[in-house]
Structure 1
Amino acid sequence: MSAPDSASTAPRRGLWYFLTLAATTLLLVTPSSAADQRPPSHSGGTEWVGSWAAAVTPPDHRPEVRRFHDQTLRQVVHLSVGGDRFRLRLTNVHGTKPLRVGAVTVAPRRGDRGTPEIEPRAAVPVTFDGRPTATVPTGAEWVSDPVELDVADNSDLVVSVYLPDPTGQPSVHYEGRSTTFVAPGDATASPGRNYESIGTARYFLDGVDVRAKTAGSVVFFGDSITDGVKSTLDENRRYPDVVADRLLKRPEPRELGVLNAGLSANRLLTDAGLGGEPAIARFERDILSQTGVRTVVLLEGINDIHHSAGEVEPRELVGVYEQLVARAHEAGIRVVGATLTPFEGAPRYNAAGEADRRAVNEWIRESDVFDAVVDFDAVVRDPNHPERLAPRYDTGDHVHPNDAGLAAMARVVELSELY
Structure 2
Amino acid sequence: MRYTQKKTSLLWLLALALGCTAGVAQAEDRWIGTWAASPVSVKNEIALGSAPMTIRQTVHISQGGETLRLSLTNEFGTEPLTISAASVGFFASGDTIVDGSAHPVTFSGSPSITIAPGQFVTSDNIKINLPIFSDLSISLAVPAQTITTLTEHPLANQSAYLVPGDQGTVVDLPEPKEIRNWIFLKNLLVPATNKRSAAIVTFGDSITDGARMSLNSNHRWPDLLATRLTTNKKTKYLSILNEGISGNRILHDTAGPKALDRFDRDVLSAPGVKYLVILESINDIGRTYFARPGTQPGEEAVTAQQIIDGLKTLVDRAHAKQIKVYGATLTPYEGAAYFSAEGEKDRQTVNAWIRTSKVFDGVIDFDKIVRDSATPSKFVKKADSGDHLHPGDVGYQMMADGIDLRMFQ
Same fold (TM over 0.5): yes
1:186 paired residue number: 166
Indicate yes or no: 2:273 matched with 1:293: yes
Q: Find 1:82's aligned residue among 64, 67, 70.
A: 64
Structure 1 residues 378-406: Cα deviation after superposition (integer angstroms, max 9, x where no partner): 01111100011111111111100000000
SS in 2 for 1:382: coil
Indicate yes or no: 2:347 matched with 1:357: yes
Q: Find 1:367's aligned residue among 353, 357, 364.
A: 357
CA pair 253-414 structure 1, distance change in 2 beyond 3 A: closer
Per the TM alignment, residue 252 of structure 1 is displaced from its structure 2 partner at its CA by: 8.3
Aligned-partner Cα distance in 2 for 1:193–1:134: 23
Aligned-partner Cα distance in 2 for 1:66–1:349: 37
CA pair 412-253 structure 1, distance change in 2 beyond 3 A: closer
Residues 226-235 or 303-312, more deviating:
303-312
Q: Is the 8 A contact 1:179 1:197 kept in 2?
A: no
One-letter amino acid matched to 1:180: A
Q: Is the 8 A contact 1:82 1:212 kept in 2?
A: no
Per the TM alignment, residue 66 of structure 1 is displaced from its structure 2 partner at its CA by: 5.1
1:173 paired residue number: 153
Structure 1 residues 29-68: Cα deviation after superposition (integer angstroms, max 9, x where no partner): xxxxxxxxxxxxxxx93331100000110015xx965533
In the alignment of these two chains, the number of paired residues is 371
CA pair 253-341 structure 1, distance change in 2 beyond 3 A: closer
Q: Is the 8 A contact 2:332 2:376 kept in 1?
A: yes
Q: Tell me the TM-score normalised to structure 1 length.
A: 0.85
Larger Rg belongs to: 2
Listed as ranges, the matches of 1:5-404 within 5 Å are 45-46=27-28, 47-59=30-42, 67-68=48-49, 69-110=51-92, 112=93, 115-166=94-145, 167-214=147-194, 215-251=197-233, 254-272=236-254, 275-309=255-289, 311-404=301-394
Aligned-partner Cα distance in 1 for 2:265–2:139: 24
Q: Is the 8 A contact 1:380 1:390 kept in 2?
A: yes
Structure 1 residues 68-90: Cα deviation after superposition (integer angstroms, max 9, x where no partner): 33101100110000011010010
Structure 1 residues 290-340: Cα deviation after superposition (integer angstroms, max 9, x where no partner): 110001100000000011118421110111111111111111111110000
One-letter amino acid matched to 1:373: V
SS in 2 for 1:270: coil
Q: Is the 8 A contact 1:84 1:212 kept in 2?
A: no
SS in 2 for 1:359: helix
Q: Tell me the TM-score normalised to structure 2 length.
A: 0.87
One-letter amino acid matched to 1:141: F
Aligned-partner Cα distance in 2 for 1:262–1:98: 26
Structure 1 residues 229-263: Cα deviation after superposition (integer angstroms, max 9, x where no partner): 10011111000000001112334884211011010
Aligned-partner Cα distance in 2 for 1:245–1:309: 38
Q: Is the 8 A contact 1:81 1:248 kept in 2?
A: no
Residues 401-410 or 306-315, more deviating:
306-315
Q: Is the 8 A contact 1:216 1:256 kept in 2?
A: yes
Identity %: 39
1:40 paired residue number: none
SS in 1 for 2:400: helix
Aligned-partner Cα distance in 2 for 1:234–1:405: 17
2:295 paired residue number: none
Q: Is the 8 A contact 1:153 1:248 kept in 2?
A: no
Aligned-partner Cα distance in 1 for 2:284–2:97: 42
One-letter amino acid matched to 2:116: P
Per the TM alignment, residue 120 of structure 1 is displaced from its structure 2 partner at its CA by: 4.5
* RMSD, aligned CA: 1.9
Structure in which a larger fraction of residues adopt helix:
2
